[in-house]
Chain A
């Protein structure tokens, strides 16, 4: 529609223009770039590119191919839906951050070179952190800082890998990294950089730490972009790397185990991002066409259903002010529509037949059946059981049907736009579940998988229904507890006091001493200029002979140095220094 322009540009322009508009118009104006980008993407054909010469490098600001396009489409779509969900929001900072965040995610997936990728990667880190900060609580602020530090760490690994890669190959192009010989150090650093954003265990704790603390609307954006951009980069750069099969499996099982224990409903969902991204990472590690199609399509559906899950749980938080299952319960009578919207998303993430996850996750598992070991397949099925157990059964059971708290919950009405966004999310998750063809048509490879084959239906129904049976038998034992679970963030949160006392305080004390010393020196020089004799006397602790003085005179008044003289001396000193430097350069 607009030629070969990077889609990110429209979001960035929107972010620039937004604060200039009247406040009441801004939420609506937010939707404009989202709609424009959807039109723009429809006109961008595979093979389109835009290059720009920067220093000695040729940067590819836009590279359109099928892989990038799958992510581009869903990013643009979810920005629009989340924008509708946030129409009641008047926080301009949040709106601008969300636009920049969406734009940088789009910029990253359409980046054709590593420099452009790193540029957008870093913008994503800062703009997404703001969506946590905007919650406005001290804890959210602390979590946002931790989030930012972890992402700066990941970005540094990525940058180091890129430098080494460019040094070794002379190329900035973002293509698949060579796995032969175990891969180069540069490739491993880049992989770890991507891994931090993909939530590889043990680098995953930023998700469960920060996402539950984001704003109601901000967490919807957060759930969509960072991890899925990382999945895209893994699919682009590390397809078929065997290590990813096991990394993904660990993520899938680790996430569901913690989700079963978590009490905060948004933390349950955060752990399920780790788990579901684990499925995608495993698919990328398997590396066959079917597995890559599975991983890519699962990223697409995941963004849709995870957005809906965060919208529904955000609606509960908005209406009740509470997000812990131990404080919720019996909400069905008060929020039935939100419950049904939530269940559509929960059935989708559980890959129940006729819901969106059913067309993608089983594709990854089928790919594992064809091209991986039995153990991998069985563990993926186990993770699927855990997904339905925690998101599809436990969370809704104890939130909407569990025992209501002794003090009745106050439930505030939801703004109409939240219902609209939930409705759109519900519609898309069901539509895609029953009609997968539009998604299958844009996947990187031709799809050789039919989700509605009898064997897949049998798998889906039996696995979920018998998981439900087991849950209802032991539901009382799975009752949520008012506890948190230690996770790997403990390693950088617990030693905080130690680090403060051991590192920050000594450094702070050193700089404080330096500051005091410089002020004292300046004060002494000022005193000396006013009273050279008295100050010198004080310095040596004995009187200084100053000769005869007229009546009424003192040593201070007689021997005061004029301001003019001091300025001349200072100026001469500076000129001397400059001359010395110039002379050094000439001679050197």
Chain B
């Protein structure tokens, strides 16, 4: 039995165990919907599908926009990534370590190479003020 099969079997046992809890305890009068047998199993199953359909089927088509919509989110990511690649990650993520070497060579872009969209990943942290992100 491989690992995936074992995990699936365990998950199946857990589901059966959760359902078996219905057999324990006193029977309660069905006053509210949540007093019905298996209510929470069905609620979990249906609720998950319902929320997924609402989110992905209704909300997303209306409100989804490209990451560059505000023209800032995408830039920020590039900025942080550039500093990470330049071994100055914490400047982007806020630990305030000493600045990275200002003269870190950028082998991915030899002199004269045109900086393209992947400029951010090539150690251009040195082009930013090294004091950013620290006090």
Enumerate chain A interface residues (CB-CB to B < 8 A).
86, 88-94, 96, 134-140, 142, 213-218, 256-258, 260-261, 263, 314, 317-318, 320-322, 324, 369, 374, 377-378, 381-382, 385-386, 389, 412, 454-455, 457-459, 461-471, 474, 477-478, 481-487, 493
Query: For the complex, is B102 an interface residue (Cβ under 8 Å from A)?
Result: no
**How many angstroms between the C-alpha atoms of A382 and B48 in the bound complex?**
8
Of all A-B residue pairs in the complex, the 10 with the closest CB atoms, nearest first, are A215-B94, A136-B133, A93-B135, A321-B84, A91-B96, A466-B44, A139-B76, A385-B47, A470-B48, A136-B132
**Contact across chains for A321 and B52 when beta carbons are under 8 A apart:** no
User: Of residues A89, A94, A216, A484, which shows the largest number of chain B Cβ atoms within 10 Å of its Cβ?
Assistant: A484
**Contact across chains for B89 and A138 when beta carbons are under 8 A apart:** no
Interface residues of B, CB < 8 Å — how many?
64
**How many angstroms between the C-alpha atoms of A569 and B70 in the bound complex?**
58
**How many angstroms between the C-alpha atoms of A256 and B40 in the bound complex?**
19
**How many angstroms between the C-alpha atoms of A142 and B75 in the bound complex?**
12
Least Cβ–Cβ distance between A65 and chain B, in angstroms: 35
Least Cβ–Cβ distance between B45 and chain A, in angstroms: 5
Question: With contacts A318-B95, A454-B21 known, is A389 near B40, CB below 8 A?
Answer: no
**Contact across chains for B14 and A465 when beta carbons are under 8 A apart:** yes
Question: Could you write out 17 A-B pairs with CB less than 8 Å apart?
Answer: A88-B95, A88-B97, A90-B98, A91-B135, A134-B135, A317-B93, A318-B89, A321-B84, A369-B34, A382-B47, A462-B43, A463-B43, A466-B40, A477-B52, A484-B66, A484-B69, A485-B60
**Contact across chains for B133 and A135 when beta carbons are under 8 A apart:** yes
**Contact across chains for A213 and B50 when beta carbons are under 8 A apart:** no
User: Of residues B44, B49, B55, B135, which shows the largest number of chain A Cβ atoms within 10 Å of its Cβ?
Assistant: B44
**Contact across chains for A482 and B95 when beta carbons are under 8 A apart:** no
Write out the residue numbers on chain B whose beta carbons fall within 8 Å of the beta carbon of A486: 63, 65, 69
**Contact across chains for B51 and A138 when beta carbons are under 8 A apart:** no
A89, A465, A474: the one contacting B44 at CB < 8 Å is A465
Question: With contacts A89-B96, A92-B135 known, is A463 near B56, CB below 8 A?
Answer: no
A91, A321, A470, A474: the one contacting B94 at CB < 8 Å is A91
**Contact across chains for B92 and A137 when beta carbons are under 8 A apart:** yes
Enumerate chain B interface residues (CB-CB to A < 8 A).
11, 14-15, 17-19, 21-22, 24-25, 32-34, 38, 40-52, 54-56, 59-60, 63-67, 69-70, 72-73, 75-77, 79-81, 83-85, 89-98, 132-135
**How many angstroms between the C-alpha atoms of A382 and B44 in the bound complex?**
8
**Contact across chains for A257 and B75 when beta carbons are under 8 A apart:** no
Write out the residue numbers on chain B whose beta carbons fall within 8 Å of the beta carbon of A462: 18-19, 21, 38, 40-41, 43-44
**Contact across chains for B92 and A136 when beta carbons are under 8 A apart:** yes
Write out the residue numbers on chain A whose beta carbons fall within 8 Å of the beta carbon of B33: 374, 378
Write out the residue numbers on chain B whose beta carbons fall within 8 Å of the beta carbon of A314: 93
**How many angstroms between the C-alpha atoms of A216 and B65 in the bound complex?**
26
**Contact across chains for B89 and A94 when beta carbons are under 8 A apart:** no
**Contact across chains for A135 and B93 when beta carbons are under 8 A apart:** yes
User: Of residues A138, A256, A263, A321, which shows the largest number of chain B Cβ atoms within 10 Å of its Cβ?
Assistant: A321
User: Of residues B22, B50, B79, B95, which shows the largest number of chain A Cβ atoms within 10 Å of its Cβ?
Assistant: B95
Write out the residue numbers on chain A whose beta carbons fall within 8 Å of the beta carbon of B18: 458, 461-462, 465-466
**Contact across chains for B49 and A136 when beta carbons are under 8 A apart:** no
Write out the residue numbers on chain B whose beta carbons fall within 8 Å of the beta carbon of A485: 59-60, 63-65
**Contact across chains for A138 and B44 when beta carbons are under 8 A apart:** no
